[in-house]
């Protein structure tokens, strides 16, 4: 009898136990998931269950990241967005013939998967991609989904998800924002493909368009120039007779990334950073004010680097000039000369643009550009044309009908647009261009004598009197700023001289904490007890005046935990001062290059400093209101607070850009030997990749405790970069580690950091990673590419003085700032 009982138990319950232990990611027919129960995807990436968002007491069925800490629960999909449950009575189950149903205590259906087909053995499964699918458990092909949550996204666009329209079934996969962080119901904003004309993505607030991606041009969406190949994800656009969609896939499965339409209408891509347990903002679709839809009206063009930003296309003028005078550009521009269809209209080529709104357009992917022009000319409603695909010299034909709207200009990755013009207007424009070319040639020649005379007089009087007036955007540093309106114009708190003098004990020598090209730096204490650092412009420093102006313009608009905070300035009579937060631990170079002080920096502190500098640079290059290139990043310009957190300082050499501008050329090279990139030091070309090079030098210096410039090794005459490169090739990178921490550090982490540093100092700017990639490299386990030879790699001959200075660990090289008056 006992044997029969055991046999009965095994045959009856063992299959159930086995199934329940292995099917934690599935829900079978009539199985119930109650509030408090969850299922987890096979790889543990995602979890499905009931939750309450933010401070809300309502309950929702959703999917969230499982491996991310519960304190920062990140929900990627919600079933009953518009039908919250007021208590914990919610139940989810699979019912015949194959639907997922969400019920409350009254058995009201709050949400239904609404699957049209039936299944003999319906099973719901949560995949490791975050996709909740319905399939037939009897089907031999588990990839045949009868329904999937990826077809009904909320505010989140996940890797592998199709974003777009099935043109056969009409299924439209689009994003809709949450109402608020506490309320996942559909908010004001939607982001979806518009298939009228040539497809493009439109982000709307209600029915009003707020942002437009522009049409796909074979490489990217015309209005998203920052969408380019990168080490984080790949992307593709598909448009055929059956569907139009965009999707992306992660290159490294260990990276966690998502795209979100937030409640405020911003389209943002985030990447999860394990070390900081936070989401890193990787990029934002809307870059600046010029991305506001139709900001400049019909035939208006927006250039973020201009002031005002809006202007009319050539051959056009403001429709209402008085409105433009008060920055109301909504009515746009009109033609100076009306079109006369059939009487010799032509086309003006305008380059570097985001193509206009394609809602009223026609296209042919096989038609050439010449035929495209002829087709446009034959249709009196055609106002412009362009290539559909810009790859391999361009192909396809895209034609616009009606007004050209939502145009902006880019410094790079813009496109050519051919705008229809009356023949007479084209003649005027061509004649004007020809006259302009003549003037460009003749006027300088005729003025050479005058210019030489002016230069002679200038140099004669330059040393006899002070510069009386120096122009400056937003304010003039020679003015006293006693008028309240002037003080508002500066957009920065102004301290009076008496306050700063009292705070620094009349600029006493005992309070002097540094000296630079700008002038002396003093420690001070305001009456309320706040400690400050005061940079006082030396009266004899003409260069310092330039730095003063530049620093105010750059850093006054920047706020980040890893940037030194500018509290205000003092402009009174001949005094020019900048007032900063005081950082007690002074600069990084006073620690890493000092034998005793370096003992205070263990590896966790150094790694935290490296990551903080990287985040500060990422903010400058990508996330700030201004795109800022520092141009003088070095150990002496990294200040440390009382917890040894780094703050980037000294923006006197910085340059700010707008829009998509990322590089420039200068005849005045400024920076510090040992940190300047090759293309900047030799050719005067600086970019965000110049800062990346300087950052790479800093990384290697922080790890080694040695300076790049003046580095000495008995076996060769290479600098620190060359030494690190040789050790890396020989698999001996651990020999680079500072002896003060070599025995007590995370060696794999240090070796990886050396690898990243070498990637940053590669000879070619194109080979160096962006700072967003650098931050991800430090914070994730993504596979690193092999670095190529660093810049300034060749051996050099050293003088005896160089040997002695390197052995003595002198700080002088780190403080040297150089200026070239003309790149080679």
pLDDT at 560 (0 to 100): 86
pTM as predicted: 0.67
Block residue for tokens 């009487």: 343
Residue-wise pLDDT for 5-64, tens only, equals 444 444 444 444 433 434 489 999 878 999 999 999 999 999 999 999 999 999 999 999
The residue-averaged pLDDT of 308-316 equals: 95
Annotated catalytic residue 632: yes
- Confidence class for position 456, pLDDT limits 50, 70, 90: low
pLDDT at 785 (0 to 100): 92
Residue-wise pLDDT for 371-413, tens only, equals 999 999 999 999 999 999 999 999 999 999 999 999 999 988 8
The residue-averaged pLDDT of 516-536 equals: 88
Beta-bridged to residue 578, according to DSSP, are 535, 569
Least confident of 144-148, 448-452, 695-699, 795-799: 795-799
CATH of domain 484-581: 3.30.200.20
Residue-wise pLDDT for 583-606, tens only, equals 999 899 999 999 889 999 999 999
Residue-wise pLDDT for 800-824, tens only, equals 334 333 333 333 333 333 333 333 3
* Residue 474: DSSP 8-state: S
Greater confidence (611 vs 436) lies with 611
Q: How far apart are CA 821 and CA 202, in angstroms?
A: 48
Residue-wise pLDDT for 638-664, tens only, equals 999 989 999 999 887 888 765 444 454
Cα Rg of the chain (Å, integer): 32
pLDDT at 208 (0 to 100): 96
Q: Say what percent of the chain tops pLDDT 90.
A: 55
Secondary structure in 3-state letters for 326-353:
CCCCCCCEEECCCCCCCCCCEEEEEEEE
Q: How far apart are CA 207 and CA 190, in angstroms?
A: 9
Instruction: Return contacts of 309-315, CB within 8 angstroms, 24+ apart.
Output: 313/348, 313/350, 313/404, 313/407, 313/419, 314/348, 314/350, 314/429, 315/348, 315/419, 315/421, 315/425, 315/426, 315/429
Strand, coil or helix: what is 385? strand
Q: Where are the alpha helices (DSSP H) in 593-687?
A: 603-618, 678-683
Q: Which helix (H) or strand (E) holds 400?
A: strand 397-401
The residue-averaged pLDDT of 287-298 equals: 93
CATH of domain 21-152: 2.90.10.10
Of these ranges, 71-75, 287-291, 619-623, the one predicted with the greatest mean pLDDT is 287-291
- Confidence class for position 473, pLDDT limits 50, 70, 90: very low
The residue-averaged pLDDT of 409-421 equals: 94
Closest CA to 574 of 473, 470, 480: 480
Q: How far apart are CA 259 and CA 284, in angstroms?
A: 9
Sign of torsion, CA 540 543 546 550?
Answer: negative
Q: Say what percent of the chain tops pLDDT 70.
A: 81
pLDDT at residue 678 is higher than 50: yes
- Confidence class for position 673, pLDDT limits 50, 70, 90: confident
Identify whether the C-beta of residue 724 lies closer than 8 Å to the C-beta of residue 713. Answer: no
Q: What is the DSSP string of 87-138?
A: SS--EEEEETTTEEEEE-TT--EEEE---SS--SSEEEEE-TTS-EEEEETT
Q: What is the DSSP string of 590-605?
A: HHHTSTTGGGG--HHH
Identify whether the C-beta of residue 47 lies closer than 8 Å to the C-beta of residue 67. Answer: no
pLDDT at residue 733 is higher than 80: yes
Q: φ, ψ for residue 574 (rounded to 5)?
A: -95, 0
pLDDT at 437 (0 to 100): 45
Distances (CA, A) of 17 to 9, 23, 47, 327: 11, 10, 21, 71
Q: What is the DSSP string of 185-245?
A: EEEEEEEEEE-SSS-EEEEEETTEEEEEEEEB-SSSBTT-TT----SSEEEEEEESSSEEE
pLDDT at residue 431 is higher than 90: no
Least confident of 254-263, 542-551, 626-635: 542-551
The residue-averaged pLDDT of 138-142 equals: 70
Closest CA to 750 of 734, 727, 731, 732: 734
Q: How far apart are CA 791 and CA 632, in angstroms?
A: 17
Q: What is the DSSP string of 737-790?
A: S-TTTTTSS-HHHHHHHHHHHHHHTBSSGGGSPPHHHHHHHHHS-PPPPPP-PB
Strands (E), 641-705: 646-648, 655-657, 663-665, 669-671, 685-687
pLDDT at residue 110 is higher than 90: yes
Block residue for tokens 């009898």: 1
Q: How far apart are CA 792 and CA 810, in angstroms?
A: 21
Q: Which of 155, 632, 650, 738 is catalytic?
A: 632
pLDDT at residue 668 is higher than 60: no
pLDDT at residue 305 is higher than 90: no
Q: φ, ψ for residue 588 (rounded to 5)?
A: -65, -35
pLDDT at 140 (0 to 100): 64
pLDDT at 474 (0 to 100): 35
Q: How far apart are CA 168 and CA 5, in angstroms?
A: 58
Sign of torsion, CA 147 148 150 155?
Answer: positive
- Chain-wide mean pLDDT for the chain? 83
Q: Which CATH code of 2.60.40.2470, 1.25.40.10, 3.30.70.600, 1.10.510.10 fits the domain covering 589-820? A: 1.10.510.10
pLDDT at residue 632 is higher than 70: yes
Residue-wise pLDDT for 230-282, tens only, equals 888 999 999 999 999 999 999 888 889 999 999 999 999 999 888 778 888 88
Tokens of 186: 């559909």
Least confident of 65-74, 153-162, 206-215, 690-699: 65-74
pLDDT at 621 (0 to 100): 86
């Amino acid at each position: 009898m006992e044997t029969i009982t055991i046999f009965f138990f095994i045959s009856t319950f063992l299959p159930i136990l086995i199934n329940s232990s292995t099917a934690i990611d599935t829900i079978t027919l009539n199985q119930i998931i109650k509030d408090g129960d969850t299922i987890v995807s096979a790889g543990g990436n995602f979890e499905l269950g009931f939750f309450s968002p933010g401070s809300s007491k309502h309950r929702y069925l959703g999917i969230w990241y499982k491996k991310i800490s519960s304190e920062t629960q990140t929900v990627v999909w919600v079933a009953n967005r518009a039908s919250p449950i007021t208590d914990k009575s919610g139940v989810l189950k699979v019912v015949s013939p194959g639907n997922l149903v969400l019920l409350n205590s009254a058995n009201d259906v709050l949400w239904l998967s609404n699957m049209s087909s039936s299944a003999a053995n319906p099973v719901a499964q949560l995949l490791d991609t975050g996709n909740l699918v319905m399939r037939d458990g009897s089907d031999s092909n588990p990839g045949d989904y009868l329904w999937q949550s990826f077809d009904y996204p909320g505010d989140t666009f996940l890797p592998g998800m199709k974003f777009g329209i099935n043109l056969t079934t009409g299924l439209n996969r689009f994003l809709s924002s949450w109402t608020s962080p506490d309320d996942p119901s559909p908010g004001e904003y939607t982001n979806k493909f518009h298939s009228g004309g040539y497809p493009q993505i439109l982000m709307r607030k209600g029915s009003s368009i707020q942002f437009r991606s522009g049409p796909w041009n074979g490489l990217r969406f015309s209005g998203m120039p920052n969408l380019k190949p990168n080490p984080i994800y790949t992307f593709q656009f598909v448009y055929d007779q059956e569907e139009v969609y965009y999707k992306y896939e992660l290159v490294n499965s260990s990276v966690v990334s998502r795209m979100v339409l937030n409640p405020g209408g911003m389209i943002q891509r985030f990447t999860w950073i394990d070390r900081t347990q936070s989401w890193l903002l990787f990029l934002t679709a809307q870059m600046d004010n010029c991305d506001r839809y139709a900001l400049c009206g019909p035939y208006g063009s927006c250039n973020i680097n201009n002031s005002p930003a809006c202007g009319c296309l050539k051959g056009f003028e403001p429709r209402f000039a008085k409105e433009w005078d008060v920055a109301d550009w909504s009515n746009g521009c009109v033609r100076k000369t009306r079109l006369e269809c059939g009487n010799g209209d032509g086309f003006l080529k305008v380059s570097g643009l985001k193509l206009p709104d394609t809602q009223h357009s026609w296209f042919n992917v096989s038609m050439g550009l010449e035929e495209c022009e002829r087709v446009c000319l034959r249709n009196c409603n055609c106002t412009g044309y362009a290539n559909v695909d810009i790859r391999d010299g361009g192909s396809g034909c895209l034609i616009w009908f009606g007004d050209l709207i939502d145009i902006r200009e880019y410094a790079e990755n813009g496109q050519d647009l051919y705008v229809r013009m009356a023949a007479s207007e084209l003649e005027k424009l061509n004649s004007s261009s020809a006259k302009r070319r003549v003037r460009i040639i003749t006027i300088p020649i005729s003025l050479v004598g005058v210019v030489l005379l002016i230069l002679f007089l200038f140099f004669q009087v330059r040393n006899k009197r002070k510069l009386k007036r120096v122009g400056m955007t937003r304010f003039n540093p020679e003015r006293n700023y006693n008028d309240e309106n002037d003080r508002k114009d500066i957009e920065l708190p102004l301290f009076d001289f008496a306050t700063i003098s009292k705070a620094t004990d009349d600029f006493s020598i005992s309070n002097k904490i540094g000296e630079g090209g700008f002038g002396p730096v003093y420690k001070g204490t305001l009456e309320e007890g706040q400690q400050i650092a005061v940079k006082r412009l030396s009266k004899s420093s003409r260069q310092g005046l330039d730095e003063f102006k530049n620093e105010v313009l750059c850093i006054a608009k920047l706020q980040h935990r890893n940037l030194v905070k500018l509290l205000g300035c003092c402009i009174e009579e001949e005094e020019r001062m900048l007032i900063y937060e005081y950082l007690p631990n002074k600069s990084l170079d006073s620690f890493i290059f000092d034998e005793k002080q370096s003992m205070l920096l263990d590896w966790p502190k150094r790694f935290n400093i490296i990551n903080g500098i990287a985040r500060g640079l990422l903010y400058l290059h990508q996330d700030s209101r201004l795109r800022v290139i520092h141009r003088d990043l070095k150990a002496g310009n990294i200040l440390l607070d009382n917890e040894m957190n780094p703050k980037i300082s000294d923006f006197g050499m910085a340059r700010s850009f707008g829009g998509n501008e990322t590089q420039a050329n200068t005849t005045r090279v400024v920076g510090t030997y040992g940190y300047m990139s090759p293309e900047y030091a030799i050719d005067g070309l600086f970019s965000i990749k110049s800062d990346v090079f300087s950052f790479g030098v800093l990384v290697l210096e922080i790890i080694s405790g040695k300076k790049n410039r003046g580095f000495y090794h008995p076996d060769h005459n290479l600098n620190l970069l060359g030494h690190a490169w040789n050790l890396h090739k020989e698999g001996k990178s651990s020999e680079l580690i500072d002896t003060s921490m070599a025995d007590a550090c995370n060696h794999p982490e240090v070796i990886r950091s050396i690898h990243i540093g070498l990637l940053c100092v590669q000879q070619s700017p194109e080979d160096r990673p962006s700072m967003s990639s650098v931050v991800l490299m430090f914070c994730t386990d993504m596979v690193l590419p092999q670095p190529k030879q660093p810049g300034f790699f060749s051996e050099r001959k050293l003088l005896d003085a160089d040997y002695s200075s390197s052995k003595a660990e002198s700080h002088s090289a780190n403080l040297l700032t150089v200026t070239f008056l003309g790149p080679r």
